Amino acid sequence: MKNILIIGATGQIGSELTMLLRKNYSGNVVAGYIPGAEPKGELKESGPSAIVDITNPQQIADAVSKYQVDTIYNLAALLSAVAENKPQLAWKIGLGGLFNTLEVAREKQCAVFTPSSIGSFGPGTPKDKTPQDTVQRPKTMYGVTKVSGELLSDYYFTRFGVDTRSVRFPGLISYVTPPGGGTTDYAVDIYYSAAKGEKFVCPIAEGTYMDMMYMPDALRAAVEIMEADPSKLVHRNSFNIASMSFEPNTIYQNIRKYLPEFEMQYQVDPLRQAIAESWPNSLDDTCAREEWGWKPEYDLDAMTQDMLAKLKERFG
Ligand code: AKB
């Protein structure tokens, strides 16, 4: 049995991870949310929820005490493009919020999962098959919070024994809850346009490669890293994980296999393009494979078939 608190449970990852954890574990799986982003439908009905604003340490501590939480999934963050427009808030949530979470975890002996990202790398990082341990000098506030979060999480493990673990997520693609304000969002939006029969206007230039992952693989990674045998972990915060790397024309051509009429044009967004160009083309995930058995299940074609089938059910 596990009692779990998910902070940011109604966001892109949280809405699906909360449901998966409720299926996997018999204890309390508490959906932490902020006012204005209340859980709805199955997410609301299937388990407890609590107002947990990550910038409010008392709210985190109260939820942890009330539900005897032993594991916290900290999913609160502003995504990369939004964070560039609101850097102060991005730091407050990303780093201030993580500090609050780790302090509660230290006092109440909780394990903590906090995702990092391909955004924790920068232009000085080797671009192809980026190694696990390498240069991390990001140029975005999002990246600065992610690399600082990795360091802070490792510090709480070595200094206080808090069981912190995490992965560096690529762009995540899902048909459930849309992302808000990321650089990789185009790879979600393109499927919505295709399924609705609309032309897609791509904000990222042809030839710009980034690592991507289908949500079921990402959710499995978040569960498996927290289940991993700690004696096998050489690394903790954070593991490179990977499943596919593509650029806009590759995904467009893949969708056209199933929808030959689908059209796309480019209208590059300078902010997102600059961020994308500062990130790696692809990550080397050997350490995750060796230390806790990470293995993706979806490639681009399998993801496209599933995304189009699910979105077509919704949009007809
Ligand atoms: C973003 O684009 O900001 C995120 C990420 C890759 O971390 N999806």
pLDDT digits (tens, 9 = 90+) for 104-155: 999 999 999 999 999 999 999 999 999 999 999 999 999 999 999 999 999 9
Instruction: Check pocket membership of 241 for ligand 1, CB cut-off 6 A.
Output: no
User: Could you give the residue range(s) of every CATH 3.90.25 domain in the chain?
Assistant: 169-210+242-281+297-313
Cβ 117 under 6 angstroms from ligand 1: yes
If one looks up domain 2-168+214-238 in CATH, what number appears? 3.40.50.720
Give the pLDDT score at 180. 86
- Mean per-residue pLDDT for 226-251? 98
Question: How far is the C-alpha of 118 from the C-alpha of 142, rounded, in Å?
Answer: 10
Q: Would you state the pLDDT for residue 27?
A: 85
**Cβ within 8 Å of residue 153, ≥6 positions away:** 98, 102, 112, 114, 164, 166, 236, 237, 238
Q: Is the CB of 171 under 6 A from ligand 1?
A: yes
Q: At what angle do helices 300-315 and 248-256 cross, to 10 degrees?
A: 60
Evaluate: CB of 184 within 6 angstroms of ligand 1. yes
Q: Six-digit token pair at 294?
A: 């990470």
Mean pLDDT within 169-195:
95
Per-residue pLDDT band at 308 (split at 50, 70, 90) = very high
The pLDDT of 37-42, averaged and rounded, is: 96
> Is the pLDDT confidence value at 203 over 90?
yes
Ligand 1 midpoint to CA 111 (Å): 24
Report the candidate in 131, 176, 168 with the shortest Cα–Cα distance to residue 147: 168
Taking the CA atoms of 162, 167, 169 and 174 in sequence, report the sign of the dihedral they define.
Answer: negative
pLDDT of residue 98 exceeding 90, the answer is: yes
Tell the CATH topology of 169-210+242-281+297-313: UDP-galactose 4-epimerase; domain 1 (3.90.25)
- Residue 80 near ligand 1, beta carbon < 6 Å: yes
Identify which has the larger pLDDT, 27 or 12. Answer: 12
Distance 272 CA to ligand 1 centre (A): 10
| CA 256 to chain centroid | 27
Is the per-residue pLDDT at 316 higher than 80?
no
pLDDT exceeding 90 applies to what percent of the chain? Answer: 97
Task: Give the per-residue pLDDT at 179.
Answer: 83
Contact indicator for 4, 72 with CB cutoff of 8 Å: yes
pLDDT for the residue 198: 97
pLDDT of residue 131: 98
Q: Which atom of ligand 1 is nearest to the CA of 118?
A: 6
Paired residues of 116 in beta bridges: 168
Tell how far the Cα of 79 is from the centroid of ligand 1, in angstroms.
6
For 251-289, how does the pLDDT look when each residue is reduced to its tens digit (9 = 90+)? 999 999 999 999 999 999 999 999 999 999 999 999 999
Q: Is the CB of 145 within 6 Å of ligand 1?
A: no
Q: Quick one: average pLDDT of 96-109?
A: 98
Which ipTM score applies to this complex? 0.98
Structure confidence at residue 91 as a pLDDT band (50, 70, 90): very high
Q: How far is the CA of 39 from the centre of ligand 1 (A)?
A: 23
Q: Which one from 33, 142, 191, 252 is the annotated catalytic residue?
A: 142
Q: Is 186 among the residues known to form the active site?
A: no
Residue nearest to atom 1 of ligand 1 (CA): 182
Q: What is the rounded distance in angstroms from the CA atom of residue 92 to the CA atom of residue 308?
A: 37
For ligand 1, whether the C-beta of 79 sits within 6 Å is yes
* Test site for ligand 1: of 139, 185, 215, 240, most ligand atoms within 8 A of the Cβ: 185
- Domain(s) labelled CATH 3.40.50.720 in the chain stretch across 2-168+214-238
Q: How confident is the model at residue 291 (pLDDT cuts 50, 70, 90)?
A: very high
Matching residue, tokens 């992952």: 213
Give the whole-number percent of the chain exceeding pLDDT 70: 100
The ligand 1 atom nearest the CA atom of 80: 3
Which candidate, 285, 295, 299, places its Cα nearest to that of 221? 295
Cβ(132) – ligand 1 distance below 6 Å: no
More confident residue, 195 or 27: 195
